[in-house]
Structures are given as C-alpha cells and as structure tokens.
Chain A
Amino acid sequence: MVKTMPFEEPVVQLKAKIEELKEYTVSAEVDLTAEIKNLEKRLHKLEQEIYENMEPWDRVQVARHPSRPTTRDYIQLLFTDFIELHGDRLYGDDAAIIGGIALFDGKPITIIGHQRGIDTKENIKRNFGMPHPEGYRKALRLMKQAEKFNRPIICFIDTKGAYPGKAAEERGQSEAIARNLVEMAGLKVPVISVVIGEGGSGGALALGVANHIHMLENSTYSVISPEGAASILWKDASLAKQAAEAMKITAPDLKKMNIIDGVIREVYGGAHRDSEAQATYMKDVLINSLRELSKLSAEELIEARYNKFKHMGEYNE
C-alpha cells in the first residue's frame, strides 16, 4: 500500500468505494456496472481536479514521499552498464552522493546524484541524502574525469541540503560546495541537472551549475526548507505551508521565474505511482537536451553557462 497524502484523500476514498462495489458485484451477484461506471467517471474528473491544481504544499508532500523514485531508480531505468565509482581520493566515500559511468542510448555518460535511503537502515548509511564535503569532492572528481574523456554529465538533485554537522564543518563543507560551483562553471562538456525530489539550498546547487536545469513537476528547489524559512521569518515552523507558498519553490513557479529550463511532467499523483512511466518522460527531455548541447563547442558550453547564471537576479538600476 502506497502512503497517501492528505490532499488526495477524496480520490483515495472514492477509489476504495469503487473497489467495494466491484467486490459486492461478485459476492452478491447484483449488477452494479452502471453505478461503477458512473463512479469511475467521477473519479477521473476528481483526479483531474485535484492533481492538476496542486498547491505548493501538496507538491512538497509529493516531493518528500518515501517511495518517490531516487537517483538509483532513474539510473536503473534510464541507463545501461552502470559502473559506480567511489571515493573522493582524499578522505572518504560519501554514500549520500552516488556517481559513475553508464551508457545512455549506447553512449557513455557520467551520472552523479544525491542518494537517500529507502528505509531507516539505508538512510543512516546514506545520511538521509545529506552529503558531507567528501560527497561533493567525489562529485567534482567524477565531473573532472568526465571532462577529460569528453562525456556529458547528468546530475540528479535530491537532497534536503548539505549536512549541517561538526565533522562536515571541520572538513570544509563550505569550501567543497563553493569549489564545485566554480569548477562546474568551467566544465568543457555538457552538464544537465534534474531536480527529482527536494532541491535544498547550497547542497543542491553544488550539483546544479548546469547548461540545462530541469525539474520534475512535483519537486522543489529552494534556498531553505519551508520549515526553516517559517521558523526564521515567523519564528514558527508550523507555518511551513504558508512559507512554501510565499517562497516560490515549485517547478512551475521556478519556470515562470526563468530559473529552470523545463518542467518534466509527472504521472498522475506523483512519480512514485509509476516510476517506469516517469523515467520515459524524463528520457525524452534528457535526449532533447543532449541533442541541443552536443552541438556546442567547449567554449560555447562555458559561455552559455556563464550567461545563464549571469542573468539570474532582479534589481532596479
């Protein structure tokens, strides 16, 4: 049973009702086909109504859904021959970021992404997808390797943020993120980032200085979590819902603000309902991006990335 979210409760109830009637038809030998058909029509309409008018806070719930597909799921569904490469060659191997080489459409590509766990045990190993500096340094090492061998890079962003811990500070969390931003700006190969879940602040951006940035429809990308913003601005974390609306953190909002290049549509109710279909939607988008970017020279790619980020920000002069 997939965990359901409050905003989709009417859909869930109606679905249960339909199931009940179907069972009843079999057990009591009463013909209820007409009623069932009617209800199914209503369900379809209700689904449209609910899923096409999702509030920011609803999207936050979907983005955080425990069975939402992770980087590893997309790697399995989109690529072949994935070989995971470990370690930053400096201090450790951070399981909160995974990376490696695989074939996409038969052609080599480097993949890097945040990785959270699917259960408590794995979440502890992967630190809930919150990287330490060694995670970012591993990512950078793999990007540099991709650059040397002329492989495009695809980054999957899915983190609440870089880990705020003592050890992380000692090893230079800030420097690790900052270094990635600067180095990504100069990469001579196409870089595509896709926000697949939560894009939490600098910890997300460290995999996000890309030529194309895409977001899944129900993912978020923000300078801070809604809870964090609410507690800083209004000293009350329970106002997260309002903060989610105020901060413009959803994919459609960010597209309107020209922060991202595209919104990847999701299957009804969220990617977790059908990860295979979701991967197909994503594949088309990635291929289009690669087609466009592989035409550009190294200088053009760097120039395009420069211009992209140079124009972010609003002010009067």
Chain B
Amino acid sequence: MIRDIFRKNQKKKYATIPTEKAKNDVPEGIMVKCPECRKNVFTKDLMKNLKVCPTCDHHMKMTAHERVEIFLDENTFESMDDHLETVNPLNFPSYTEKIKSDAKKTGLNEAVLTGVGQLDGQKVVVAIMDSHFRMGSMGSVVGEKITRAIEKATQLQVPFIIFTASGGARMQEGVLSLMQMAKTSVALRRHSDHGLLYISILTHPTTGGVSASFASVGDINIAEPKALIGFAGRRVIEQTVREKLPEDFQTAEFLMDHGQLDAVIHRKDMREKVATLVQMHMNKEVSTW
C-alpha cells in the first residue's frame, strides 16, 4: 500500500551512528565550509583566492604564516623573538597547558609573529597577530614582541606595519596584560617622533584592549571588509544600553562611516595598496619641483 511507503521509516527502531571512517567521508582539509554563506569550497581553491570565499566574498581568518606568504616579497621575511616564552604569573589554572597546546597547533611561540621583511622591495617591520592562538589575546609576550618589533623599526628607520586580530587583553595575565597597551604605545610614540610611518591593518576580529591601543592609532588605519572591530562586545553593549544594535554595528564599514578608518581594502588589493602607501612615505624632506 501507498501508506506503507510513509511508514517505512517509522518502523526503524534504532538510530544510526556513523562510524569514524564514514564521518570523514570528505577527508579533512580537502573542503572548507564558508562560515558566512555555508557553501563548501575546495581548500586548494580557497588558498588561491587568498582565503576569501569565492561565493560571498567573506574574508576568512588567516594564520600569521599565511599572511607573510601573501603580503611580503617571497623569502624576505625573517622572524624575531621566537624564543620568548609565556609564563603563568598569576598561577592561573591550566593556563600553561593551553598555551602549550596552541603553540603546538599554530607553530608559533605566541599570538603574534614579528619580523623584518620586504614589501615590493622596501624594507619594513611587520607584526602579524594570529587569532588561532588564544584568540589573538595580548599577554606579556605578545606585548613584548610587538614592542620589540616597533623598536626594531625605529632602529632601522623603516615603516612598521601590523595586522591585528585579537579578542583583546589576555585575562589570565591580569593587569600585566593591561599594561601591554601602554608599553606598545610608548614605543609607537618614539617611532612616530622619528617621522616614521605606522600602518595598522585591522582584520577580523580586533576588539578590546588591542583595538583600544595600537590598532587604532596608525598614521593610516585600514581594515579588511566586514571585519569585526570594536571596544566592547555586542552582547555587553546590548545588555548595558538595553536596545537592539544595528546589523552592521562594529563592522569595518560601520567604523569607516564613523570616522575611525582611512579605508576598507579587499584582501586581493592589500599588498599593492600598502606598498604604494609605503612608497609615498619614503621622503625625509619636502620634494623639490
């Protein structure tokens, strides 16, 4: 009978749990699901497209090493201060283990990768934050690495460029984390007083103590499209002001409308545009005509 067709499933009195093997039907690493439009993309294609979703143009998170690869001239990057080690100053439970596991996962000693490299033939110092490491949060080592990178740029008399990606200050190091905001700032002030260029490139997400310190004070502030940038989290604000926030609240575009950014630049244009900007800032004196 026709009815039996519909009953067929009801008769099934057991649940199926796919085996481990079946679960990995699409072997890990071959395809990636875009977190925005939920379409699957081949990992190979995605990397060619600079980790930008070909369907919806969503800029996915990148690791620090991937950024080095797409941003700097080939084989010019030399990393700095990879030997610095995070300690557990407040004896926070399981903090050290978490750091160790993230270090293993990312191949970084902390949530930022710093070093000297060339951008279209011009020497620059870069710092690239990696949100895969403790959400890019800033503790003593992140602050120290960024500060040393800024000092290196001052010493070499070259521009300093940072890619920010951070949830903010690192809770597990308490007030020490807070002070990294000030530490990086005093170094930036010196760099600036030498008439040197600082470009801050804000990527998804840049929030809290990082957005409230070095990320926001570039001579030029740039963001990637749709990047989440803000001080306090959306939920905190909604609970405080007791009103619903607009959809585009704290996006890069929202910030540009509100005067906080110089430009929003697509990832595929970033290298070229920033290289041009650096080129335009190499003059030490007014040019003669």
The verdict on A258 contacting chain B, using a C-beta distance below 8 Å, is no
Please report the total number of A residues contacting B with Cβ < 8 Å: 32
Structural contact, B277 and A87, CB atoms closer than 8 A: no
Q: Contacting A150 at CB < 8 Å: which of B256, B257, B285?
A: B285
Q: Nearest-CB distance from A297 to chain B (Å)?
A: 10
The verdict on A274 contacting chain B, using a C-beta distance below 8 Å, is no
The verdict on B227 contacting chain A, using a C-beta distance below 8 Å, is no
Structural contact, B263 and A86, CB atoms closer than 8 A: yes
Please report the total number of B residues contacting A with Cβ < 8 Å: 26
Given contacts A84-B263, A93-B257, A93-B259, whether A101 and B289 have CB atoms under 8 Å apart is no
Structural contact, B283 and A151, CB atoms closer than 8 A: yes
The verdict on B273 contacting chain A, using a C-beta distance below 8 Å, is yes
The verdict on A88 contacting chain B, using a C-beta distance below 8 Å, is yes
Structural contact, A92 and B280, CB atoms closer than 8 A: no
The verdict on A166 contacting chain B, using a C-beta distance below 8 Å, is no
Q: Nearest-CB distance from A163 to chain B (Å)?
A: 16
Q: Contacting B286 at CB < 8 Å: which of A87, A88, A150?
A: A150
Structural contact, B219 and A81, CB atoms closer than 8 A: no
Structural contact, B283 and A83, CB atoms closer than 8 A: no
For A291, what are the chain B residues with a Cβ–Cβ distance below 8 Å?
A: 288-289
The verdict on B276 contacting chain A, using a C-beta distance below 8 Å, is yes
For A88, what are the chain B residues with a Cβ–Cβ distance below 8 Å?
A: 259
For A134, what are the chain B residues with a Cβ–Cβ distance below 8 Å?
A: 259
Interface centre among B259, B262, B286 (most CB of A within 10 A): B286
The verdict on B24 contacting chain A, using a C-beta distance below 8 Å, is no
Given contacts A84-B263, A87-B262, A105-B289, whether A149 and B273 have CB atoms under 8 Å apart is no
Q: Nearest-CB distance from B154 to chain A (Å)?
A: 15
Cβ < 8 Å to A, chain B residues 216-263: 219-221, 256-263
Q: Tell me the bound Cα distance from A287 to B257 in angstroms.
A: 34
Structural contact, B286 and A294, CB atoms closer than 8 A: yes
The verdict on A89 contacting chain B, using a C-beta distance below 8 Å, is yes
For A84, what are the chain B residues with a Cβ–Cβ distance below 8 Å?
A: 263
The verdict on B287 contacting chain A, using a C-beta distance below 8 Å, is yes
Interface centre among B260, B263, B276, B280 (most CB of A within 10 A): B280
Residue of chain A at shortest CB distance from B193:
A148
The verdict on B284 contacting chain A, using a C-beta distance below 8 Å, is yes
For B257, what are the chain A residues with a Cβ–Cβ distance below 8 Å?
A: 92-93
The verdict on B150 contacting chain A, using a C-beta distance below 8 Å, is no
The verdict on A262 contacting chain B, using a C-beta distance below 8 Å, is no
The verdict on B197 contacting chain A, using a C-beta distance below 8 Å, is yes
Given contacts A91-B258, A93-B258, A151-B286, whether A108 and B263 have CB atoms under 8 Å apart is no
Given contacts A101-B277, A108-B281, A149-B195, whether A87 and B256 have CB atoms under 8 Å apart is yes
Structural contact, B263 and A149, CB atoms closer than 8 A: no
Structural contact, B289 and A294, CB atoms closer than 8 A: yes
Structural contact, A89 and B219, CB atoms closer than 8 A: no
Q: Contacting B259 at CB < 8 Å: which of A92, A145, A189?
A: A92
Residue of chain A at shortest CB distance from B195:
A148
Given contacts A108-B281, A149-B195, A150-B283, whether A86 and B259 have CB atoms under 8 Å apart is yes
For B197, what are the chain A residues with a Cβ–Cβ distance below 8 Å?
A: 149
Q: Tell me the bound Cα distance from A309 to B280 in angstroms.
A: 31
Q: Tell me the bound Cα distance from A35 to B257 in angstroms.
A: 60
Residues of B that sit less than 8 Å from A by CB: 192, 195, 197, 219-221, 256-263, 273, 276-277, 280-281, 283-289
| 5 more A-B residue pairs beyond the given contacts A87-B259, A88-B259, A149-B219, with a C-beta to C-beta distance below 8 A | A87-B262, A145-B219, A149-B281, A294-B286, A295-B288
Sample (26) of A-B pairs whose CB atoms are under 8 Å apart: A83-B273, A83-B277, A83-B280, A85-B262, A86-B263, A87-B256, A87-B259, A87-B261, A89-B259, A89-B260, A93-B256, A93-B257, A93-B258, A101-B277, A107-B283, A149-B195, A149-B197, A149-B219, A151-B286, A152-B287, A189-B286, A190-B286, A290-B289, A291-B289, A294-B287, A294-B289
